[in-house]
Amino acid sequence: KKAAAPKLADPIAATIDPASQEMIARAQKMGIDTVFDRAVQMKPCNIGIQGICCKNCAMGPCRLPLPKGGIEGEDTRKGLCGATANTIAARNFIRMIAGGASAHSDHGRCVAEVFMSAARKETEAYKIKDTNKLLQIAPWLEVATTVEEDGEVKDRDIDEIALEVAEKALNEWGKYEGELLFAKRAPAPLYEKWKKNGVIPRNIDREIVEIMHRTHMGVDQDYKNLMKQGTRAAIADGWGGSMLATDLQDVLFGTPYPLQSEANLGVMKEDHVNIVVHGHEPVLSEMIVAVSQKPEIIEYAKSKGAKGIQLSGICCTANEILQRHGIPSATTFLSQELAIITGACDAMVVDIQCIMQNLANVAKCFHTKLITTHPIAKMEQDNVIHIEFDEHYALEDAEKIVKMGIDNFANRGSEVMIPRHKCTQVAGFGVESIQYHLGGTFRGNYYTLNDNIINGRIRGIAGVVGCNNARNRHNEAHIEVVKELIKNDVIVLTTGCNGIACAMEGLLTPEAAAVHCGPGLAEVCEVVGIPPVLHLGSCVDNSRILLAATEVVKAGGLGKDICDLPAAGSAPEWMSEKAISIGHYFVASGMYTVFGVTLPTSGAPVFHNYISDELEKIYGGKWDIEPDPIKHAQMMIAHIDKKRKELGIDK
Ligand code: SF4
Ligand code: MSK
């Protein structure tokens, strides 16, 4: 008897993106499975989804029964050791924070190590590019920028400052006394709240390690105490590892400023060598950009029959090189396999995080060279090529990779099919450019962000970020949440795959304001010439949202702390542990934060209530969950309106 054919995804139901729909249908026709099909074939575990499966020892996994219709009376559910639903959910939740914080922070550490090489002048490839940014961050790391000589105050030598910044930055991961230096960048009342509650990180690594210890069988069994450690580690991520990654990348590669580019699979070109970079760390991709623009390399590509080299990106490596060089974004996380399905991807170069192992299986069906580059992120499949990147030979490594892509151009089959869909985008925003474009300051004239929030043209600020999730229709929640917000005059700061999704939908253009925004936000965007959705970069660049909120607070007129602002955070299609860490440092920084899909807390209602209502009493921010995108956005708007009322600006 023949086995039934596996059920396949309906491309239209799987994604709102027409380019992805075409490529899913094509993959199915070719008999190649993608994540969209696998999501139809494999359903998630209903107990795991609710956060109440514990596998922290070999007496389990202990799968607690679901609280059908809520818990009546005493909650007597427990694992073999007696761990309650709250303990199990809290342990799982903070282990996710540890996973996310370690990913961002290890990325930051790698950048700090490259920064050290540059400061020591051990490498030709990396230089201190943005000295203004260096001078801006040095005092926060307790590095002097001036020196007194013969009674005169003089500027200190830039190389000396860079070296000391590198030392101080690297020290943040493992120093044995003191506290995270960047914690003081937060508004003073927030810093004081953290201090009072004992959650200022001691060093980045320690907070992550301590989560692993506390959640080991038989250690911390108080969900409040577990969350205290989760909070400390999340702050170590947002205001530590991620913020250091962003700042040091800006110093090495330049602070982004607005620029124009494009997004979606249509950016790939049939007659060019297509190299797609994917992952998160920009240290190698910066070099790939540099090499692929060299005249002799372009000539080499032409000698192999191509018209040139088309570089594009997926996930946050895409965001990094988009922000600084205008390299177009090919697609988001969920549709990564589809870039290979085009048949035009000559090389896909991956570094760390959000890389699906199935890329290797898809690449096997085409001529695509799949190249891993990071010692901590290899793949087992035998068609994957590993070229380990070494910052001391960065340009040589990048040249080897780009040439491999060029040499592979001739190996394409006849199966090239690039969807035509792509949109223009204006990206490259940051705290500096928000200030520059909106009146040159945050408060004090007709154009500024604060003045426009106070006068009500802009109702509030939303940070909408995060991944895709195969349990949702791809990009749908991202776009509906963002459209609902801007329709209601809420300006959106975006990062990660939300940024790419918005770009694919054409929301990152000044012209989008007239089409999609309420009258107030449309007027501001038109006057200053910005899109209603400002792309602030990659996952680690969520730290830019923290700093933007801090600048808004400092500029005055909107309260004294981040929790006073008419602002809210959102991750409509989250999937990664990093999103939980980001969500929690938003909450611990005072931000009302709504997640889509689901939260692994619903099986432990007391714990869920703790991270929403109880944490709000401590930090001013709270977790919330709403899968329906319109309701999700409306909850954010209701919070913004509540804050406007409290500020007395609700006219
Ligand atoms: Fe079960 Fe306790 Fe072991 Fe978890 S730690 S698996 S709840 S016995
Ligand atoms: S890439 S963590 S899927 S945003 Fe930063 Fe996208 Fe989420 Fe990865």
Quote the ligand 1 centre to 90 CA distance (angstroms). 13
Quote the ligand 1 centre to 615 CA distance (angstroms). 26
Q: Does any domain span residue 439?
A: yes
Quote the ligand 1 centre to 211 CA distance (angstroms). 16
Quote the ligand 1 centre to 560 CA distance (angstroms). 44
Mutate-to-test residue for ligand 1 from 47, 52, 56, 84, highest number of ligand atoms within 8 A of CB = 56
Contact (Cβ atoms closer than 8 angstroms) between residue 504 and residue 328: no
Mutate-to-test residue for ligand 1 from 47, 52, 53, 62, highest number of ligand atoms within 8 A of CB = 62
ipTM above 0.85, yes or no: yes
Do 31 and 160 lie in one domain? The reply is no
Quote the ligand 1 centre to 535 CA distance (angstroms). 43
Question: Which residues line ligand 2 at a C-beta cut-off of 6 Å?
Answer: 280, 315-316, 333, 354, 466-467, 496-497, 538-539, 576, 578
* CA dist., res. 420 & res. 17, Å (int): 12
Do 510 and 567 lie in one domain? The reply is yes
Mutate-to-test residue for ligand 2 from 356, 497, 597, highest number of ligand atoms within 8 A of CB = 497
Do 249 and 316 lie in one domain? The reply is no
Q: Does any domain span residue 419?
A: no
Closest ligand to the CA of 478: 2
The parent domain of residue 211 ranges over 94-253
- Give the atom of ligand 2 at the shortest distance from the alpha carbon of 332: 6
- Give the atom of ligand 2 at the shortest distance from the alpha carbon of 500: 6
Quote the ligand 2 centre to 535 CA distance (angstroms). 14
Helices 476-487 and 629-647: crossing angle, nearest 10°?
A: 30
Q: Does any domain span residue 245?
A: yes
Contact (Cβ atoms closer than 8 angstroms) between residue 427 and residue 503: yes
Atom 3, ligand 1: residue with shortest CA distance: 57
Do 214 and 291 lie in one domain? The reply is no
What's the CATH number where 621 sits? 3.40.50.2030
Residues paired with 91 in a beta bridge = none
Q: What is the structure's pLDDT at 74?
A: 81
Residue that is last in its domain, among 411, 441, 474: 411
What's the CATH number where 227 sits? 1.20.1270.30
Mutate-to-test residue for ligand 2 from 323, 468, 504, 576, highest number of ligand atoms within 8 A of CB = 576
Q: Does any domain span residue 80?
A: no
Quote the ligand 1 centre to 80 CA distance (angstroms). 6
Do 407 and 463 lie in one domain? The reply is no
Quote the ligand 1 centre to 223 CA distance (angstroms). 15
Atom 7, ligand 1: residue with shortest CA distance: 79
Where the chain has pLDDT below 50, the residues are none
Do 278 and 236 lie in one domain? The reply is no
Q: How many domains does the chain have?
A: 4
pLDDT in tens, 92-101: 999 999 999 9
Atom 3, ligand 2: residue with shortest CA distance: 467
Secondary structure of residue 153 in the 3-state scheme:
strand
Residue that is last in its domain, among 350, 384, 411: 411
Mutate-to-test residue for ligand 2 from 281, 317, 354, 475, highest number of ligand atoms within 8 A of CB = 354
Quote the ligand 1 centre to 582 CA distance (angstroms). 27
Quote the ligand 1 centre to 58 CA distance (angstroms). 7
Do 106 and 206 lie in one domain? The reply is yes
pLDDT in tens, 172-212: 999 999 999 999 999 999 999 999 999 999 999 999 999 99
The answer for 227, left when phi > 0, alpha when psi is -120 to 50, beta otherwise, is alpha
Do 300 and 323 lie in one domain? The reply is yes
Do 110 and 190 lie in one domain? The reply is yes
Do 522 and 473 lie in one domain? The reply is yes
| E strand map for 52-149 | 53-54, 62-63, 146-149
* CA dist., res. 166 & res. 120, Å (int): 9
Mutate-to-test residue for ligand 1 from 88, 215, 221, highest number of ligand atoms within 8 A of CB = 88
Residue 331: partners with Cβ closer than 8 Å, 6 or more residues away: 17, 19, 20, 263, 264, 265, 314, 338, 339, 500, 504
Quote the ligand 1 centre to 606 CA distance (angstroms). 19
Contact (Cβ atoms closer than 8 angstroms) between residue 615 and residue 230: no
Atom 6, ligand 1: residue with shortest CA distance: 60
Do 586 and 627 lie in one domain? The reply is yes
Quote the ligand 1 centre to 74 CA distance (angstroms). 20
Q: Does any domain span residue 203?
A: yes
| E strand map for 329-422 | 329-331, 347-350, 369-372, 384-386
Residue that is last in its domain, among 253, 274, 296: 253
- Give the atom of ligand 1 at the shortest distance from the alpha carbon of 91: 4
Residue 187 CA: distances (Å) to CA of 11, 400, 463? 47, 47, 18
Q: Does any domain span residue 79?
A: no
Structure tokens, 614: 């109880």
Quote the ligand 2 centre to 212 CA distance (angstroms). 23
Q: Does any domain span residue 2?
A: no
Question: Which residues line ligand 1 at a C-beta cut-off of 6 Å?
Answer: 54-57, 59-62, 79-81, 83, 88, 217
Contact (Cβ atoms closer than 8 angstroms) between residue 94 and residue 211: yes
Quote the ligand 2 centre to 442 CA distance (angstroms). 30
Quote the ligand 2 centre to 329 CA distance (angstroms). 13
Contact (Cβ atoms closer than 8 angstroms) between residue 468 and residue 475: yes
Mutate-to-test residue for ligand 1 from 64, 81, 95, 220, highest number of ligand atoms within 8 A of CB = 81
Count of beta carbons in the 10 Å neighbourhood of residue 171: 15
Atom 4, ligand 1: residue with shortest CA distance: 54
Do 197 and 319 lie in one domain? The reply is no
- Give the atom of ligand 2 at the shortest distance from the alpha carbon of 574: 7
The CA dihedral of 389, 390, 396, 397, to the nearest 10 degrees, is: 0
Q: Does any domain span residue 62?
A: no
- Our CA angle for 176, 181, 184, nearest 5°, is 140
- Residue 595's φ and ψ, nearest 5 degrees, are -105, 150
| Closest residue by Cα to residue 388 from 411, 371, 405 | 371
Closest ligand to the CA of 542: 2
Structure tokens, 469: 């999730």
Structure tokens, 170: 């690297």
Residue 57 CA: distances (Å) to CA of 29, 62, 87, 218, 387? 44, 9, 14, 9, 37
